[in-house]
């Protein structure tokens, strides 16, 4: 007997991620919307931010089969994003208009205000049940 | 002149952390036959 989940189940979770409209580079792990979207001068962690177009297939999110199994959502690359605040980026967050939805890590990268940063494409994957 | 840097973003997998794997391991049940009797041993690692 194998465990099994319909792709729609995994896609529902990934669709929720794809409601995100803001991606930010943060200098610490945010655990709240305010931390993820405010800059360090306003008690937040955001050093740079870019607006995303919500929804699978609308340009910034693509939901597809996972690399080995399951499903994944890929967030498209965002190039030349203006850096608002100088600091070292260690995390990348996605938020909708009111909530922090997802946080991943990144290699520590020094960011300098007024320069630009590129967010390469990355993905969030949910594996099949095991 | 403005310079551009690129982040090394780490891809994420849901439900595959080492912590999750350890929890699964702690719940492992081992069945053994000793002297003709079935022994059930639950690992508590």
Whether A122 sits inside 8 A of B6 (CB atoms) is: no
**Which of A68, A122, A128, A129 is most worth mutating to test chain B (most B CB atoms within 10 A of its CB)?**
A122
Rounded Cα gap, residues A115 and A86, in angstroms: 9
Q: What angle do CA A100, A105, A108 make, to 5 degrees?
A: 125
Rounded Cα gap, residues A76 and A60, in angstroms: 5
Total domain count, chain B: 1
Q: What is the mean pLDDT of residues A11-37?
A: 98
Any CB–CB contact under 8 A between B5 and chain A? Answer: yes
Tens digits of per-residue pLDDT, A78-125?
A: 999 999 999 999 999 999 999 999 999 999 999 999 999 999 999 999
Q: What is the mean pLDDT of residues B18-30?
A: 55
Q: What is the ipTM of this complex?
A: 0.91
What does the longest C-alpha to C-alpha distance in chain A come to? 57
Name the residue facing A107 among B3, B8, B12 (closest C-beta): B8
Whether A109 sits inside 8 A of B5 (CB atoms) is: yes
Tens digits of per-residue pLDDT, A8-20?
A: 999 999 999 999 9
**In the predicted structure, residue B29 carries a pLDDT above the cut 80:** no
Instruction: Give residues with Cβ within 8 angstroms of A56, minimum separation 6.
Output: A14, A15, A18, A62, A63, A73
Residue B44: predicted pLDDT: 57
Distance from CA of A23 to the nearest CA of B (A): 12
Residue B18: predicted pLDDT: 47
Rounded Cα gap, residues A82 and A96, in angstroms: 20
Any CB–CB contact under 8 A between A113 and chain B? Answer: no
Determine the residue of chain B that is closest to A129 in CA distance: B15
Chain A residues touching residue B2 (CB < 8 angstroms): 114-116
**In the predicted structure, residue B24 carries a pLDDT above the cut 60:** no
Q: What is the mean pLDDT of residues B28-43?
A: 73
Residue B26: predicted pLDDT: 55
Query: Which of B13, B9, B10, B4 shows the shortest CA–CA distance to A119?
Result: B9
- The structural domains of chain A, with segments of one domain joined by +, span 7-126
Higher pLDDT, A36 or B44: A36
Distance from CA of B35 to the nearest CA of A (A): 31
Q: Is the pTM of this model over 0.95?
A: no
Any CB–CB contact under 8 A between A123 and chain B? Answer: yes
User: What percent of chain A shows pLDDT beyond 90?
Assistant: 97
Residue ranges making up the domain that contains B42: 1-45
Confidence of residue A41 (pLDDT cuts 50, 70, 90): very high
């Amino acid at each position: 007997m194998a465990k099994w989940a319909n792709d729609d189940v995994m896609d529902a979770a990934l669709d929720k991620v794809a409601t995100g409209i803001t991606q930010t580079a943060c200098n610490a792990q945010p655990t709240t919307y305010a931390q993820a979207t405010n800059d360090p001068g306003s008690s937040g962690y955001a050093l740079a931010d870019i607006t995303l177009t919500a929804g699978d297939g609308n340009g910034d999110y693509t939901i597809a089969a996972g690399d080995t199994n399951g499903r994944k959502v890929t967030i498209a690359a965002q190039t030349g994003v203006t850096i608002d605040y100088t600091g070292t980026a260690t995390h990348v967050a996605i938020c909708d208009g009111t909530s922090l939805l997802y946080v991943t890590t990144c290699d520590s990268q020094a960011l300098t205000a007024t320069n630009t940063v590129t967010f390469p494409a990355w993905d969030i994957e949910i594996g099949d049940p095991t | 002149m403005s310079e551009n840097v690129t982040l090394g973003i780490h891809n994420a997998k849901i439900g595959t952390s080492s912590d999750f794997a350890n929890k699964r391991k702690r719940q492992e049940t081992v069945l053994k036959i000793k002297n003709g009797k079935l022994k059930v041993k639950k690992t508590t690692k």
